[in-house]
Amino acid sequence: MNIAIRMKKIAIIMAGGMGERFWPRSTEKKPKQFLHMIGEGTMIQNTVMRLMPLFKPEEIFIVALENVAEIIYDQLPAIPRENVILEPFLKNTAPCIALTCTQLSNVIDDDTVIHALPADHVIHNVREFHQSLELAATVATSKDGIVIIGVMPTRPEPQYGYVQIKSREGDLGELYDKGVRYSRTYAEKPDVETALRFINSGDFLWNSGIFTMKAGIFWNSLEKHLPEHYRLFKVMQKDFGKDSFDLAKKDMYMQMQSESIDYGILEKANNVYVIESSFTWSDLGTWDELYRLSMKDARNNIIEGDVIPIKTSNCLIISNGRLIGTVGIEDLVIIDSEKALLVCKKGKTDAVTEVVDFMKRKNINKFL
What are the domain boundaries of the chain? 9-282, 287-367
Q: Which of 11-25, 56-70, 109-123, 178-192 has the lowest mean pLDDT?
A: 178-192
Looking at 122-274, list the stretches that DSSP marks H as alpha helix, in order from N- to C-terminal side: 126-143, 174-177, 192-201, 215-225, 227-237, 245-255, 261
Q: CB-based contacts of 123: which residues, under 8 Å, 6+ apart?
A: 50, 129, 279, 280, 281, 282
Q: Cβ(274)–Cβ(148) under 8 Å?
A: yes
Q: Cβ(188)–Cβ(92) under 8 Å?
A: no
What is d(CA 362, CA 356) in angstroms, rounded to the nearest whole number?
Answer: 10
Name the band, by pLDDT with cuts 50, 70 and 90, for residue 84: very high
- Give the pLDDT mean for 55-68: 96
- Give the pLDDT mean for 230-253: 91
CATH of segment(s) 9-282:
3.90.550.10
For residue 170, pLDDT beyond 80: no
In 5-98 the beta strands, taken as DSSP E runs, fall at 9-14, 60-65, 84-87
Q: Which of 242, 278, 274 is CA-nearest to residue 130?
A: 278
Q: CB-based contacts of 40: which residues, under 8 Å, 6+ apart?
A: 46
- Confidence (pLDDT) at 5: 61
Q: CB-based contacts of 327: which residues, under 8 Å, 6+ apart?
A: 310, 311, 312
**The one-letter amino acid at 121:** H
The string over 223-258, giving b where at least 16 C-beta atoms fall within 10 Å of a residue's C-beta and e elsewhere, is eebbeebbebbeebbebeeeeebeebbeebbeebee
β-pair type (307-310, 316-318): unpaired
What is the rounded end-to-end Cα distance, in angstroms, of the chain?
37
pLDDT tens-place string over residues 214-230: 999 999 999 999 999 99
For residue 16, pLDDT beyond 50: yes
Residues 66, 72, 77, 80, CA torsion sign: negative
For residue 4, pLDDT beyond 70: no
| Percentage of the residues of the chain whose pLDDT score is greater than 70 | 99
What is d(CA 273, CA 275) in angstroms, rounded to the nearest whole number?
Answer: 7
pTM, rounded to two decimals: 0.93
What is d(CA 336, CA 320) in angstroms, rounded to the nearest whole number?
Answer: 5
CA-to-CA separations, 209 to 53, 79, 131, 367, in angstroms, rounded: 21, 23, 17, 29
For residue 183, pLDDT beyond 80: yes
Burial class (CB in 10 A: 0-12, 13-18, 19+), 304: middle
